[in-house]
Structure 1
Amino acid sequence: MYSKILTPVDLAHRERLAKAVDTAVDLARHWGIPVVLVGVTEAAPSAVARNPQEYARELAAVAEETARATGVAVEARTYTAHDPATQIDDTILKAVADTGADLVVMASHAPTVGDALVPSHGGRLASHAAISVFLVR
Protein backbone atom coordinates (compact mmCIF):
# COMPACT_ATOMS: atom_id res chain seq x y z
CA MET A 1 0.00 0.00 0.00
CA TYR A 2 2.73 2.51 1.00
CA SER A 3 6.48 2.27 0.51
CA LYS A 4 7.97 4.79 2.96
CA ILE A 5 6.67 6.83 5.88
CA LEU A 6 8.03 10.27 6.72
CA THR A 7 7.58 11.53 10.27
CA PRO A 8 8.58 15.09 11.18
CA VAL A 9 10.00 15.37 14.70
CA ASP A 10 10.92 18.33 16.86
CA LEU A 11 13.70 17.32 19.23
CA ALA A 12 12.89 20.32 21.43
CA HIS A 13 9.60 18.57 22.26
CA ARG A 14 10.60 14.92 22.62
CA GLU A 15 7.81 14.29 25.14
CA ARG A 16 5.25 14.99 22.39
CA LEU A 17 6.83 12.69 19.79
CA ALA A 18 5.87 9.30 21.16
CA LYS A 19 2.33 8.98 19.81
CA ALA A 20 3.16 10.04 16.23
CA VAL A 21 6.39 8.02 16.10
CA ASP A 22 4.64 4.97 17.61
CA THR A 23 1.87 5.30 15.00
CA ALA A 24 4.39 5.58 12.16
CA VAL A 25 6.35 2.57 13.43
CA ASP A 26 3.20 0.48 13.83
CA LEU A 27 2.09 1.25 10.27
CA ALA A 28 5.62 0.60 8.97
CA ARG A 29 5.72 -2.77 10.73
CA HIS A 30 2.31 -3.65 9.27
CA TRP A 31 3.44 -2.96 5.70
CA GLY A 32 7.11 -3.93 6.13
CA ILE A 33 8.37 -0.48 5.10
CA PRO A 34 10.90 2.03 6.50
CA VAL A 35 10.30 5.22 8.46
CA VAL A 36 12.25 8.44 7.93
CA LEU A 37 12.40 10.80 10.90
CA VAL A 38 12.86 14.36 9.65
CA GLY A 39 14.12 17.17 11.83
CA VAL A 40 14.46 20.82 10.92
CA THR A 41 16.97 22.96 12.77
CA GLU A 42 18.60 26.33 12.40
CA ALA A 43 22.28 27.15 11.95
CA ALA A 44 22.39 29.13 15.20
CA PRO A 45 22.82 27.35 18.55
CA SER A 46 19.58 26.21 20.16
CA ALA A 47 18.44 24.44 23.31
CA VAL A 48 18.76 21.12 21.45
CA ALA A 49 22.12 21.50 19.71
CA ARG A 50 24.97 23.93 19.18
CA ASN A 51 24.96 23.44 15.40
CA PRO A 52 23.22 21.46 12.63
CA GLN A 53 25.79 18.64 12.82
CA GLU A 54 25.09 18.08 16.52
CA TYR A 55 21.35 18.19 15.80
CA ALA A 56 21.83 15.57 13.09
CA ARG A 57 23.69 13.31 15.55
CA GLU A 58 20.88 13.71 18.11
CA LEU A 59 18.24 12.85 15.51
CA ALA A 60 20.27 9.88 14.27
CA ALA A 61 20.49 8.60 17.85
CA VAL A 62 16.70 8.81 18.18
CA ALA A 63 16.30 6.93 14.88
CA GLU A 64 18.78 4.22 15.95
CA GLU A 65 17.12 3.83 19.33
CA THR A 66 13.68 3.58 17.71
CA ALA A 67 14.90 1.01 15.17
CA ARG A 68 16.59 -1.07 17.85
CA ALA A 69 13.51 -1.01 20.11
CA THR A 70 11.00 -1.81 17.38
CA GLY A 71 12.79 -3.83 14.72
CA VAL A 72 11.60 -1.39 12.03
CA ALA A 73 14.07 0.29 9.67
CA VAL A 74 14.28 3.92 10.79
CA GLU A 75 16.55 6.54 9.26
CA ALA A 76 17.09 10.20 10.08
CA ARG A 77 17.23 13.24 7.80
CA THR A 78 18.14 16.69 9.07
CA TYR A 79 17.38 19.92 7.24
CA THR A 80 18.63 23.38 8.13
CA ALA A 81 16.40 26.43 7.75
CA HIS A 82 16.99 30.10 8.57
CA ASP A 83 13.69 30.20 10.47
CA PRO A 84 12.36 26.68 11.09
CA ALA A 85 9.07 27.94 12.52
CA THR A 86 8.13 29.65 9.25
CA GLN A 87 9.87 27.28 6.83
CA ILE A 88 8.81 23.95 8.34
CA ASP A 89 5.98 23.26 5.88
CA ASP A 90 8.08 23.85 2.77
CA THR A 91 10.97 21.90 4.29
CA ILE A 92 8.75 18.90 5.00
CA LEU A 93 7.46 19.00 1.41
CA LYS A 94 11.09 19.04 0.23
CA ALA A 95 11.86 16.08 2.50
CA VAL A 96 8.91 14.18 1.01
CA ALA A 97 10.35 14.71 -2.47
CA ASP A 98 13.93 13.92 -1.37
CA THR A 99 13.03 10.67 0.39
CA GLY A 100 10.33 9.37 -1.91
CA ALA A 101 7.96 8.99 1.04
CA ASP A 102 4.35 8.38 0.13
CA LEU A 103 2.82 8.84 3.60
CA VAL A 104 3.44 11.49 6.25
CA VAL A 105 2.54 10.65 9.84
CA MET A 106 2.86 13.69 12.08
CA ALA A 107 1.74 15.09 15.38
CA SER A 108 -0.85 17.84 15.45
CA HIS A 109 -2.92 19.67 18.00
CA ALA A 110 -6.67 19.87 18.39
CA PRO A 111 -8.11 22.73 16.32
CA THR A 112 -8.56 26.06 18.06
CA VAL A 113 -9.96 29.44 17.13
CA GLY A 114 -6.38 30.61 16.51
CA ASP A 115 -6.08 28.18 13.58
CA ALA A 116 -8.29 30.54 11.56
CA LEU A 117 -5.47 33.10 11.70
CA VAL A 118 -2.46 30.79 11.70
CA PRO A 119 -3.25 27.30 10.40
CA SER A 120 -1.51 24.29 11.89
CA HIS A 121 1.52 22.84 10.15
CA GLY A 122 -0.25 19.51 9.77
CA GLY A 123 -3.34 21.09 8.27
CA ARG A 124 -1.30 23.13 5.82
CA LEU A 125 0.76 20.10 4.83
CA ALA A 126 -2.37 18.00 4.31
CA SER A 127 -3.74 20.77 2.07
CA HIS A 128 -0.59 21.08 -0.06
CA ALA A 129 1.01 17.63 -0.19
CA ALA A 130 0.32 15.33 -3.11
CA ILE A 131 0.57 12.32 -0.78
CA SER A 132 -1.46 11.13 2.19
CA VAL A 133 -0.97 12.88 5.53
CA PHE A 134 -2.01 11.19 8.78
CA LEU A 135 -2.36 13.69 11.63
CA VAL A 136 -1.99 12.23 15.12
CA ARG A 137 -3.48 14.03 18.12
Structure 2
Amino acid sequence: MFQKIMVPVDLAHLGALERSLTAAVDLARHYDAALCYVGVTTSQPSSVARTPEEYAQKLKAFAHEHAADSRHEPTVRVYNSHDPVADLDDILVRAIDEVDADLIVMGTHLPRHLDAIIPANGSKVAGHTKASVFLVRPEAPE
Protein backbone atom coordinates (compact mmCIF):
# COMPACT_ATOMS: atom_id res chain seq x y z
CA MET A 1 0.00 0.00 0.00
CA PHE A 2 2.75 2.49 0.96
CA GLN A 3 6.28 2.33 -0.42
CA LYS A 4 8.02 5.49 0.85
CA ILE A 5 7.22 7.19 4.13
CA MET A 6 8.53 10.71 4.68
CA VAL A 7 9.02 11.81 8.27
CA PRO A 8 9.70 15.50 9.01
CA VAL A 9 12.11 15.73 11.95
CA ASP A 10 13.13 18.67 14.10
CA LEU A 11 16.24 17.50 15.93
CA ALA A 12 15.74 20.23 18.53
CA HIS A 13 12.36 18.79 19.56
CA LEU A 14 12.66 15.01 19.35
CA GLY A 15 10.77 14.49 22.61
CA ALA A 16 7.66 16.12 21.18
CA LEU A 17 7.90 13.90 18.10
CA GLU A 18 8.26 10.57 19.90
CA ARG A 19 4.77 9.26 19.04
CA SER A 20 4.99 10.25 15.37
CA LEU A 21 8.47 8.78 15.02
CA THR A 22 7.32 5.50 16.56
CA ALA A 23 4.23 5.42 14.33
CA ALA A 24 6.38 5.97 11.23
CA VAL A 25 8.65 3.05 12.04
CA ASP A 26 5.68 0.81 12.85
CA LEU A 27 3.99 1.71 9.56
CA ALA A 28 7.23 1.14 7.64
CA ARG A 29 7.51 -2.35 9.14
CA HIS A 30 3.86 -3.13 8.48
CA TYR A 31 3.94 -2.04 4.83
CA ASP A 32 7.59 -2.96 4.18
CA ALA A 33 8.11 0.67 3.21
CA ALA A 34 11.28 2.75 3.12
CA LEU A 35 11.67 5.69 5.50
CA CYS A 36 13.01 9.11 4.55
CA TYR A 37 13.69 11.56 7.36
CA VAL A 38 13.50 15.21 6.32
CA GLY A 39 15.00 18.11 8.25
CA VAL A 40 15.03 21.85 7.65
CA THR A 41 17.88 23.91 9.02
CA THR A 42 19.57 27.26 8.56
CA SER A 43 23.11 28.15 7.64
CA GLN A 44 23.37 30.05 10.94
CA PRO A 45 24.68 28.14 13.96
CA SER A 46 21.91 26.73 16.16
CA SER A 47 21.58 24.71 19.34
CA VAL A 48 21.56 21.55 17.19
CA ALA A 49 24.36 22.17 14.70
CA ARG A 50 26.79 24.85 13.62
CA THR A 51 26.44 24.14 9.89
CA PRO A 52 23.97 22.45 7.53
CA GLU A 53 26.56 19.71 6.98
CA GLU A 54 26.74 19.00 10.71
CA TYR A 55 22.93 18.98 10.85
CA ALA A 56 22.85 16.45 7.99
CA GLN A 57 25.33 14.20 9.81
CA LYS A 58 23.24 14.34 13.00
CA LEU A 59 20.03 13.62 11.11
CA LYS A 60 21.64 10.67 9.35
CA ALA A 61 22.89 9.28 12.67
CA PHE A 62 19.42 9.73 14.16
CA ALA A 63 17.76 7.99 11.21
CA HIS A 64 20.05 4.97 11.44
CA GLU A 65 19.57 4.72 15.19
CA HIS A 66 15.80 5.21 15.10
CA ALA A 67 15.08 2.88 12.18
CA ALA A 68 17.78 0.34 12.98
CA ASP A 69 15.48 -2.67 12.69
CA SER A 70 13.76 -1.53 9.52
CA ARG A 71 14.15 -3.74 6.44
CA HIS A 72 15.22 -0.77 4.33
CA GLU A 73 18.15 1.57 4.79
CA PRO A 74 16.65 4.88 5.96
CA THR A 75 17.46 7.94 3.88
CA VAL A 76 17.69 11.57 4.90
CA ARG A 77 17.09 14.86 3.15
CA VAL A 78 18.19 18.19 4.60
CA TYR A 79 16.93 21.50 3.29
CA ASN A 80 18.60 24.80 4.06
CA SER A 81 16.47 27.89 4.65
CA HIS A 82 17.04 31.44 5.82
CA ASP A 83 13.84 31.16 7.87
CA PRO A 84 12.93 27.50 8.53
CA VAL A 85 9.74 28.38 10.44
CA ALA A 86 8.34 30.53 7.61
CA ASP A 87 9.49 28.19 4.82
CA LEU A 88 8.67 24.84 6.46
CA ASP A 89 5.35 24.12 4.74
CA ASP A 90 6.62 24.91 1.24
CA ILE A 91 9.80 22.91 1.81
CA LEU A 92 7.87 19.88 3.04
CA VAL A 93 5.52 19.99 0.04
CA ARG A 94 8.52 20.18 -2.29
CA ALA A 95 10.30 17.36 -0.40
CA ILE A 96 7.32 15.03 -0.85
CA ASP A 97 7.75 15.16 -4.61
CA GLU A 98 11.55 15.03 -4.48
CA VAL A 99 11.68 11.91 -2.29
CA ASP A 100 8.64 10.38 -4.03
CA ALA A 101 6.80 9.81 -0.75
CA ASP A 102 3.31 8.35 -0.74
CA LEU A 103 2.77 8.74 3.02
CA ILE A 104 3.88 11.52 5.33
CA VAL A 105 3.87 10.85 9.06
CA MET A 106 4.28 14.02 11.05
CA GLY A 107 3.78 15.18 14.58
CA THR A 108 1.29 17.91 15.35
CA HIS A 109 0.07 19.78 18.39
CA LEU A 110 -3.24 19.73 20.21
CA PRO A 111 -5.78 22.12 18.63
CA ARG A 112 -5.62 25.79 19.71
CA HIS A 113 -7.67 28.87 18.94
CA LEU A 114 -4.66 30.37 17.16
CA ASP A 115 -4.98 27.63 14.49
CA ALA A 116 -7.81 29.64 12.89
CA ILE A 117 -5.32 32.40 12.09
CA ILE A 118 -2.12 30.39 11.65
CA PRO A 119 -2.97 26.86 10.47
CA ALA A 120 -0.81 23.94 11.50
CA ASN A 121 1.86 22.64 9.12
CA GLY A 122 0.00 19.38 8.57
CA SER A 123 -3.09 21.02 7.13
CA LYS A 124 -1.10 22.91 4.49
CA VAL A 125 0.92 19.83 3.61
CA ALA A 126 -2.25 17.73 3.29
CA GLY A 127 -3.90 20.38 1.15
CA HIS A 128 -1.01 20.66 -1.32
CA THR A 129 -0.01 17.09 -2.07
CA LYS A 130 -1.49 13.87 -3.42
CA ALA A 131 0.28 11.84 -0.74
CA SER A 132 -1.54 10.63 2.35
CA VAL A 133 -0.74 12.58 5.50
CA PHE A 134 -0.94 10.98 8.93
CA LEU A 135 -0.87 13.57 11.72
CA VAL A 136 0.11 12.19 15.10
CA ARG A 137 -0.86 14.22 18.15
CA PRO A 138 1.21 14.16 21.32
CA GLU A 139 -0.33 12.48 24.33
CA ALA A 140 -2.92 14.74 25.90
CA PRO A 141 -2.12 15.95 29.39
CA GLU A 142 -4.24 14.27 32.04
Whole-angstrom CA distance in 1 between matches of 2:130 and 2:67: 27
Whole-angstrom CA distance in 2 between matches of 1:121 and 1:97: 17
Q: Deviations over 1:65-100 (max 9, x none)?
A: 0122x3343221111111000100111111111110
Corresponding residue for residue 127 of structure 1 = 127
Whole-angstrom CA distance in 1 between matches of 2:121 and 2:17: 15
CA contact (8 A) 1:6 1:36 kept: yes
Whole-angstrom CA distance in 2 between matches of 1:127 and 1:17: 22
Corresponding residue for residue 7 of structure 1 = 7
Whole-angstrom CA distance in 2 between matches of 1:106 and 1:22: 11
TM-score normalised to structure 2 length:
0.92
Corresponding residue for residue 104 of structure 1 = 104
Whole-angstrom CA distance in 1 between matches of 2:94 and 2:127: 15
TM-score normalised to structure 1 length:
0.95
**Matched residues, number:** 136
Runs of 4+ in 1 over 2 A off after TM superposition: 70-73
Q: Which runs of 5+ in 2 are unaligned?
A: 138-142
SS at match of 2:67: helix
The within-5 A match list for 1:77-88 is 77-88=77-88
The within-5 A match list for 1:1-137 is 1-68=1-68, 70-73=69-72, 74-137=74-137
Q: Which runs of 5+ in 1 are unaligned?
A: none
One-letter code aligned to 2:111: P
One-letter code aligned to 2:126: A
Whole-angstrom CA distance in 1 between matches of 2:45 and 2:107: 25
CA contact (8 A) 1:25 1:72 kept: no
